[in-house]
Amino acid sequence: MSMNPSVPKINLSNVYKKFNTDLQNAHPVLGDVSLHIVENEFVVLLGRSGCGKTTLLNIIAGLEIASSGIVQVDGVDVMGPGRGKGMVFQQGALFPWLNAEQNIQFAARKQGLNVEQSKELSQKLLLLVGLAGAEKKYPFELSGGMQQRVAIARALALDPQILLMDEPFGALDELTRIEMQNELLRVWSLQQKTVVFVTHSIWEGLMLADRIIVLAPRPGRIVLEKKIDRQRPRKRSDRLLIELYEEIWNALQ
Protein backbone atom coordinates (compact mmCIF):
# COMPACT_ATOMS: atom_id res chain seq x y z
CA MET A 1 0.00 0.00 0.00
CA SER A 2 1.18 3.49 -0.71
CA MET A 3 2.13 5.31 2.43
CA ASN A 4 0.57 8.49 1.23
CA PRO A 5 -2.24 8.57 -1.31
CA SER A 6 -0.74 11.57 -3.02
CA VAL A 7 2.60 9.85 -3.59
CA PRO A 8 2.46 8.00 -6.90
CA LYS A 9 3.23 4.31 -6.82
CA ILE A 10 5.91 4.70 -9.42
CA ASN A 11 7.60 8.02 -9.99
CA LEU A 12 9.87 8.60 -12.94
CA SER A 13 11.22 12.13 -13.32
CA ASN A 14 13.54 13.26 -16.08
CA VAL A 15 14.92 9.80 -16.56
CA TYR A 16 17.85 9.83 -18.93
CA LYS A 17 19.77 6.78 -20.03
CA LYS A 18 22.75 6.45 -22.28
CA PHE A 19 24.82 3.33 -22.76
CA ASN A 20 28.58 3.51 -22.36
CA THR A 21 29.10 1.78 -25.64
CA ASP A 22 27.17 4.38 -27.59
CA LEU A 23 29.13 6.81 -29.68
CA GLN A 24 29.55 10.36 -28.48
CA ASN A 25 26.88 11.99 -30.55
CA ALA A 26 24.36 9.15 -30.76
CA HIS A 27 20.89 9.65 -29.34
CA PRO A 28 20.43 8.36 -25.80
CA VAL A 29 18.21 5.33 -25.28
CA LEU A 30 16.03 7.43 -23.00
CA GLY A 31 16.05 11.19 -23.06
CA ASP A 32 14.06 12.95 -20.36
CA VAL A 33 11.20 10.59 -19.63
CA SER A 34 8.78 11.57 -16.88
CA LEU A 35 5.87 9.43 -15.77
CA HIS A 36 3.72 8.97 -12.70
CA ILE A 37 1.93 5.70 -12.21
CA VAL A 38 -0.82 5.43 -9.64
CA GLU A 39 -1.51 2.44 -7.45
CA ASN A 40 -3.38 -0.44 -9.08
CA GLU A 41 -3.17 1.25 -12.42
CA PHE A 42 -2.57 -0.89 -15.51
CA VAL A 43 -0.13 1.04 -17.67
CA VAL A 44 1.05 -0.09 -21.09
CA LEU A 45 4.32 1.11 -22.59
CA LEU A 46 3.99 0.89 -26.35
CA GLY A 47 6.41 1.47 -29.16
CA ARG A 48 8.61 0.01 -31.85
CA SER A 49 11.76 -1.94 -31.14
CA GLY A 50 14.52 0.33 -29.97
CA CYS A 51 12.28 3.02 -28.48
CA GLY A 52 13.60 2.28 -25.02
CA LYS A 53 10.49 0.73 -23.53
CA THR A 54 12.29 -2.38 -22.31
CA THR A 55 15.14 -0.27 -20.94
CA LEU A 56 12.61 1.84 -19.08
CA LEU A 57 11.01 -1.26 -17.64
CA ASN A 58 14.39 -2.61 -16.58
CA ILE A 59 15.16 0.68 -14.90
CA ILE A 60 11.93 0.53 -12.92
CA ALA A 61 12.78 -3.06 -12.03
CA GLY A 62 16.20 -2.06 -10.84
CA LEU A 63 17.97 -4.33 -13.29
CA GLU A 64 19.47 -1.31 -14.99
CA ILE A 65 20.41 2.06 -13.62
CA ALA A 66 19.37 5.37 -15.15
CA SER A 67 22.20 7.67 -16.15
CA SER A 68 20.34 10.48 -14.44
CA GLY A 69 16.89 11.32 -13.16
CA ILE A 70 14.64 10.11 -10.39
CA VAL A 71 13.30 6.57 -10.23
CA GLN A 72 11.14 5.85 -7.21
CA VAL A 73 8.69 3.27 -6.05
CA ASP A 74 6.51 4.33 -3.10
CA GLY A 75 8.57 7.46 -2.75
CA VAL A 76 11.77 5.48 -2.24
CA ASP A 77 14.60 5.43 -4.75
CA VAL A 78 14.98 2.17 -6.61
CA MET A 79 18.31 0.60 -5.66
CA GLY A 80 18.19 -2.82 -7.22
CA PRO A 81 16.02 -5.66 -8.44
CA GLY A 82 13.65 -7.66 -6.28
CA ARG A 83 12.03 -6.26 -3.17
CA GLY A 84 8.50 -6.39 -4.35
CA LYS A 85 9.03 -5.68 -8.03
CA GLY A 86 7.84 -8.86 -9.65
CA MET A 87 8.72 -9.36 -13.28
CA VAL A 88 7.60 -11.57 -16.14
CA PHE A 89 9.83 -11.93 -19.18
CA GLN A 90 9.10 -12.87 -22.74
CA GLN A 91 10.87 -16.20 -22.64
CA GLY A 92 13.19 -18.52 -20.91
CA ALA A 93 12.96 -17.30 -17.37
CA LEU A 94 11.54 -20.41 -15.77
CA PHE A 95 14.13 -22.65 -14.16
CA PRO A 96 14.21 -25.74 -16.36
CA TRP A 97 15.45 -28.02 -13.59
CA LEU A 98 12.44 -27.32 -11.40
CA ASN A 99 8.88 -28.29 -12.15
CA ALA A 100 6.02 -25.79 -12.18
CA GLU A 101 5.27 -26.10 -8.50
CA GLN A 102 8.93 -25.83 -7.50
CA ASN A 103 9.45 -22.77 -9.65
CA ILE A 104 6.67 -21.01 -7.80
CA GLN A 105 7.86 -22.32 -4.48
CA PHE A 106 11.25 -20.79 -5.17
CA ALA A 107 9.67 -17.36 -5.11
CA ALA A 108 7.41 -18.20 -2.19
CA ARG A 109 10.34 -19.37 -0.07
CA LYS A 110 12.06 -16.06 -0.73
CA GLN A 111 9.07 -14.41 0.86
CA GLY A 112 9.85 -16.22 4.06
CA LEU A 113 7.22 -18.92 3.81
CA ASN A 114 8.16 -22.36 5.02
CA VAL A 115 7.90 -25.49 2.91
CA GLU A 116 4.25 -26.27 3.62
CA GLN A 117 3.07 -22.72 3.26
CA SER A 118 4.91 -22.28 0.00
CA LYS A 119 3.46 -25.50 -1.37
CA GLU A 120 -0.01 -24.31 -0.44
CA LEU A 121 0.55 -20.96 -2.04
CA SER A 122 1.90 -22.47 -5.24
CA GLN A 123 -1.15 -24.71 -5.55
CA LYS A 124 -3.42 -21.75 -4.99
CA LEU A 125 -1.64 -19.72 -7.63
CA LEU A 126 -1.59 -22.54 -10.14
CA LEU A 127 -5.32 -22.83 -9.68
CA LEU A 128 -5.62 -19.09 -10.17
CA VAL A 129 -3.78 -19.15 -13.49
CA GLY A 130 -5.76 -22.17 -14.63
CA LEU A 131 -3.04 -24.79 -14.32
CA ALA A 132 -4.36 -26.93 -11.50
CA GLY A 133 -2.97 -30.43 -12.06
CA ALA A 134 0.18 -29.34 -13.83
CA GLU A 135 2.23 -28.94 -10.67
CA LYS A 136 4.69 -31.67 -11.38
CA LYS A 137 5.30 -30.79 -14.98
CA TYR A 138 8.62 -29.40 -16.06
CA PRO A 139 8.83 -26.33 -18.29
CA PHE A 140 9.90 -28.36 -21.28
CA GLU A 141 6.71 -30.35 -20.96
CA LEU A 142 4.52 -27.28 -21.08
CA SER A 143 3.35 -25.24 -24.04
CA GLY A 144 4.43 -21.63 -24.43
CA GLY A 145 1.17 -20.31 -23.05
CA MET A 146 1.32 -22.60 -20.06
CA GLN A 147 4.92 -21.62 -19.36
CA GLN A 148 3.93 -17.99 -19.26
CA ARG A 149 1.11 -18.78 -16.87
CA VAL A 150 3.62 -20.40 -14.56
CA ALA A 151 5.86 -17.37 -14.93
CA ILE A 152 3.00 -15.10 -13.92
CA ALA A 153 2.11 -17.32 -10.98
CA ARG A 154 5.73 -17.29 -9.89
CA ALA A 155 5.92 -13.50 -10.02
CA LEU A 156 2.67 -13.30 -8.03
CA ALA A 157 4.09 -15.63 -5.39
CA LEU A 158 6.34 -12.78 -4.37
CA ASP A 159 3.22 -10.87 -3.36
CA PRO A 160 4.73 -8.00 -5.26
CA GLN A 161 3.89 -4.32 -5.04
CA ILE A 162 4.15 -3.95 -8.74
CA LEU A 163 4.15 -6.35 -11.64
CA LEU A 164 6.42 -5.60 -14.56
CA MET A 165 5.84 -7.48 -17.79
CA ASP A 166 8.20 -7.36 -20.74
CA GLU A 167 6.28 -8.46 -23.83
CA PRO A 168 5.18 -11.58 -21.98
CA PHE A 169 2.97 -12.84 -24.79
CA GLY A 170 5.26 -11.90 -27.63
CA ALA A 171 6.42 -15.43 -28.29
CA LEU A 172 2.95 -16.90 -28.45
CA ASP A 173 0.70 -17.45 -31.43
CA GLU A 174 -2.17 -15.03 -32.00
CA LEU A 175 -4.94 -17.17 -30.54
CA THR A 176 -3.02 -18.12 -27.42
CA ARG A 177 -2.03 -14.50 -27.08
CA ILE A 178 -5.63 -13.29 -26.95
CA GLU A 179 -6.45 -16.03 -24.49
CA MET A 180 -3.57 -15.02 -22.27
CA GLN A 181 -4.61 -11.37 -22.38
CA ASN A 182 -8.01 -12.33 -21.03
CA GLU A 183 -6.41 -14.58 -18.43
CA LEU A 184 -4.18 -11.76 -17.30
CA LEU A 185 -7.12 -9.40 -16.91
CA ARG A 186 -9.02 -12.02 -14.94
CA VAL A 187 -6.09 -12.64 -12.60
CA TRP A 188 -5.51 -8.93 -12.23
CA SER A 189 -9.09 -8.31 -11.27
CA LEU A 190 -8.73 -10.87 -8.47
CA GLN A 191 -5.34 -9.67 -7.29
CA GLN A 192 -5.16 -5.94 -7.56
CA LYS A 193 -1.62 -4.87 -8.45
CA THR A 194 0.05 -2.01 -10.21
CA VAL A 195 1.05 -3.31 -13.64
CA VAL A 196 3.50 -1.91 -16.15
CA PHE A 197 3.22 -3.84 -19.39
CA VAL A 198 5.52 -3.46 -22.38
CA THR A 199 4.39 -4.37 -25.88
CA HIS A 200 4.69 -3.42 -29.50
CA SER A 201 1.16 -4.46 -30.33
CA ILE A 202 -1.30 -1.56 -30.39
CA TRP A 203 -4.32 -3.83 -29.97
CA GLU A 204 -2.81 -5.57 -27.01
CA GLY A 205 -2.32 -2.19 -25.38
CA LEU A 206 -5.88 -1.11 -26.16
CA MET A 207 -7.35 -4.30 -24.74
CA LEU A 208 -5.42 -4.17 -21.52
CA ALA A 209 -4.52 -0.66 -20.45
CA ASP A 210 -5.98 1.97 -18.18
CA ARG A 211 -3.45 4.25 -19.74
CA ILE A 212 -1.26 3.83 -22.82
CA ILE A 213 2.11 5.51 -23.00
CA VAL A 214 3.50 5.66 -26.52
CA LEU A 215 7.25 5.98 -26.91
CA ALA A 216 9.39 6.86 -29.90
CA PRO A 217 13.10 6.25 -30.37
CA ARG A 218 16.13 8.42 -30.96
CA PRO A 219 16.00 9.78 -28.39
CA GLY A 220 13.63 7.53 -26.42
CA ARG A 221 10.78 9.76 -25.27
CA ILE A 222 7.05 9.81 -24.65
CA VAL A 223 5.11 11.09 -27.65
CA LEU A 224 1.58 10.28 -26.61
CA GLU A 225 -0.33 9.47 -23.48
CA LYS A 226 -3.93 8.29 -23.57
CA LYS A 227 -6.33 7.28 -20.84
CA ILE A 228 -8.75 4.54 -21.78
CA ASP A 229 -12.00 4.90 -19.92
CA ARG A 230 -13.66 1.73 -20.93
CA GLN A 231 -14.80 -1.26 -18.97
CA ARG A 232 -13.12 -4.54 -19.68
CA PRO A 233 -13.49 -6.88 -21.49
CA ARG A 234 -13.35 -4.56 -24.46
CA LYS A 235 -14.49 -5.12 -28.02
CA ARG A 236 -12.41 -4.49 -31.11
CA SER A 237 -15.46 -3.04 -32.76
CA ASP A 238 -15.65 -0.26 -30.17
CA ARG A 239 -15.48 3.07 -31.97
CA LEU A 240 -13.47 4.74 -29.23
CA LEU A 241 -10.83 2.06 -29.47
CA ILE A 242 -10.67 2.31 -33.26
CA GLU A 243 -10.15 6.05 -33.01
CA LEU A 244 -7.47 5.58 -30.43
CA TYR A 245 -5.84 3.04 -32.69
CA GLU A 246 -5.63 5.57 -35.49
CA GLU A 247 -4.24 8.19 -33.20
CA ILE A 248 -1.60 5.89 -31.80
CA TRP A 249 -0.71 4.57 -35.22
CA ASN A 250 -0.08 8.09 -36.43
CA ALA A 251 1.97 8.91 -33.39
CA LEU A 252 4.19 5.95 -34.17
CA GLN A 253 5.08 7.08 -37.69
Partner 1 sequence: MNDFHFQSMFKKINLYGLMGILILLMVWELSARWIWQDIQVLPSPIQCMDMAWQVLTVQELLMHIATSLSRILIGFTFAAVIGVGLGIAVGWYQYLGLAFKPILELLRPIPPLAWIPMAIVWFGLGESSKWFVIFLGSFFPIFTNAWRGMVGIPPVILRAAQTMDVKGFELLLKVAIPAALPDIATGLRVAFGLAFGILVAAELIASDSGLGYLIMQSRETSRLGVAIFGILLIGLLSMLADGILARLLKKFVSRGRY
Partner 2 sequence: MNNKIKSWLIPLIALTVFLLSWELASFMVYLRPTRFPAPSKLLLSFLDLTFSGYPAGVTIDQHLLKTIERIIIGFLLSVSLGVPLGLLIGGFHALDRLTSTIIAFCRSVATLSLLPLAIVWFGTGEQAKIFLITYGCFWVMLSNVIEAVKQVDPVMMNAAKTMDTDGIELFLKVVLPSALPRVFAGMRISLGVGFMVIVGAEMIGTVIGLGSLIMEARTFYRTDITMVGMLILGLMGFLMTSGLAWLEKKLMPWQQQEHNRTSA
**Using the rule CB under 8 A, is 171 a contact of partner 2?**
no
The only residue of 7, 63, 171, 185 in contact with partner 2, by rule CB under 8 A: 63
**Using the rule CB under 8 A, is 237 a contact of partner 1?**
no
Contact 105, 119 (CB under 8 A): yes
CB of 94 to partner 1, least distance (A): 27
Distant-in-sequence contacts of 187-190, Cβ < 8 A, 24+ apart: 187/128, 187/129, 187/152, 187/156, 188/42, 190/128
Contact 213, 57 (CB under 8 A): no
The only residue of 5, 21, 49, 140 in contact with partner 2, by rule CB under 8 A: 140
Q: What gap in Å lies between CA 10 and CA 244, rounded to an integer? A: 25
**Using the rule CB under 8 A, is 61 a contact of partner 2?**
yes
Half-sphere exposure of 108 (CA within 13 A, CB side): 24
Q: What gap in Å lies between CA 12 and CA 36, rounded to an integer? A: 6
CB of 23 to partner 2, least distance (A): 24
Per-residue binding letters, 68-107, with partner 2 (x by CB under 8 A): ------------xxxx-xxx-x-xxxxxxx--------xx
The only residue of 4, 6, 20, 231 in contact with partner 1, by rule CB under 8 A: 20
**Using the rule CB under 8 A, is 25 a contact of partner 1?**
no
Strands 42-46 and 211-216: parallel
**Using the rule CB under 8 A, is 4 a contact of partner 1?**
no
Please, which of residues 59-88 interact with partner 1 by CB under 8 A? Answer: none
Cα separations in angstroms, 23 against 27, 31, 194:
9, 15, 36
Contact 153, 187 (CB under 8 A): no
**Using the rule CB under 8 A, is 24 a contact of partner 1?**
yes
CB of 147 to partner 2, least distance (A): 12
* CB-count burial class (<10 Å; 0-12, 13-18, 19+) for 3: exposed
85 versus 221: smaller Cβ distance to partner 2: 85
Q: Residue numbers of the site for partner 2 (CB under 8 A)?
A: 61, 63, 80-83, 85-87, 89, 91-97, 106-107, 110, 138-140, 154-155, 158, 164
Question: Binding residues for partner 1, per CB under 8 A?
Answer: 20-21, 24
